[in-house]
């Protein structure tokens, strides 16, 4: 059974509610409560949010945590109330890596917390040890602001629940209301009510700041997929010879002038 079904049954009984009683509180049919607890259906986003709030939980906790007598909620860190994470799982109950293509990035700003929207995104699995623990999502990037990572590359990011873990100099996919989906390097640590500085690796582009209350999600870059293979590094010997020839030509030109 899913965490939703188990958690709902546990929390309902802990509150002393019958299925009918709780259905009345949620203003839905009793048969729906039965379907949710028997894992025959899952509540829509609005109802999911209402249930989580009733039990004083975040949607993330209600969906992803296995709540029992021994379970304790994680301390709410700065900015933690900003996060509402929806995921999808495969037939073996493993979390998928959902892909957000460039064409879907605008819709992602509205649908990032909607389970139905997330379930409709393309999804895949990667058999990599580094991607076994955590929640991951892939974002297609455009533009050349992060060269040598090429436009059209797919950045795989790990969901960052605690934004205070943002480290200066590391790269992140930042989802914000005004900037949308961007892949940048952090220029400072995250501080609530402070701006986060975002830096491009391509120095043609200027760094800029984004307000903390404008941020919706942060994903720490863990890997990337690209169809553009890297160019070979220049031969250091040839590079040295070229520099020597250029210096000789410069010296000869100066002698001729004299």
Q: Which domains does the chain have, with CATH numbers?
A: 3-68 (1.10.260.40), 97-225 (2.10.109.10)
**pLDDT of amino acid 2:** 67
User: Distance between CA atoms of 119 and 8, rounded to whole angstroms?
Assistant: 21
Instruction: Look up the pTM and report it.
Output: 0.59
86 within 8 A of 113, measured Cβ to Cβ: yes
Task: Kindly tell me if the per-residue pLDDT of 244 is higher than 50.
Answer: yes
The pLDDT, as a whole number, for residue 126 is: 86
Q: What is the pLDDT of residue 237?
A: 62
Mean pLDDT across the chain: 85
- pLDDT 10s digits, 136-155: 999 999 999 999 999 999 99
Question: What is the per-residue pLDDT across 82-122, written as a single tens digit (0 to 9) for each?
Answer: 455 778 787 777 889 999 998 888 788 878 877 888 888 99
**Would you say 140 and 154 are in contact if contact means Cβ atoms under 8 Å apart?**
yes
Residue 39 near residue 1 (C-beta atoms within 8 A): yes
CA–CA distance, 162 with 258 (Å, rounded to integer): 68
Q: What's the pLDDT at 88?
A: 79
pLDDT of 45 strictly over 50: yes
| Least confident span in 29-43, 51-65, 159-173, 179-193 | 51-65
- For residue range 230-240, list pLDDT tens digits in order: 777 666 665 56
């Amino acid at each position: 059974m899913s965490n939703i079904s188990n958690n709902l049954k546990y929390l309902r009984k802990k509150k002393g509610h019958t299925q009918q009683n709780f259905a009345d509180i949620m203003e839905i049919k009793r048969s729906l409560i039965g379907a949710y607890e028997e894992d025959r259906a899952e509540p829509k986003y609005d109802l999911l949010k209402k249930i989580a709030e009733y039990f004083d939980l975040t949607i993330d906790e209600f969906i992803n945590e296995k709540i029992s007598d021994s379970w304790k909620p994680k301390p709410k860190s700065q900015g933690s109330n900003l996060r509402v994470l929806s995921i999808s799982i495969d037939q073996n109950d493993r979390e998928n890596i959902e892909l957000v293509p460039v064409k879907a990035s605008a819709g992602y700003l509205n649908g990032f917390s909607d389970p139905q929207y997330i379930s409709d995104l393309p999804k895949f699995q990667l058999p990599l040890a580094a991607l076994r623990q955590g929640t991951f999502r892939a974002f297609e990037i455009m533009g050349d602001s992060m060269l040598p990572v090429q436009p059209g590359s797919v950045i795989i990011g790990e969901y960052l629940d605690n934004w205070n873990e943002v480290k200066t100099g590391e790269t992140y996919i930042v989802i914000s209301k005004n900037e949308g989906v961007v892949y940048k390097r952090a220029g400072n640590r995250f501080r609530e009510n402070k701006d986060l500085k975002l830096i491009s690796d391509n120095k043609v582009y200027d760094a800029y700041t984004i307000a903390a209350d404008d941020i919706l999600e942060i994903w720490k870059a863990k890997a990337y997929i690209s169809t553009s293979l890297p160019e070979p590094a220049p031969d250091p010997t040839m590079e040295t010879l070229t520099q020597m020839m250029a210096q000789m030509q410069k010296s000869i030109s100066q002698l001729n002038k004299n």
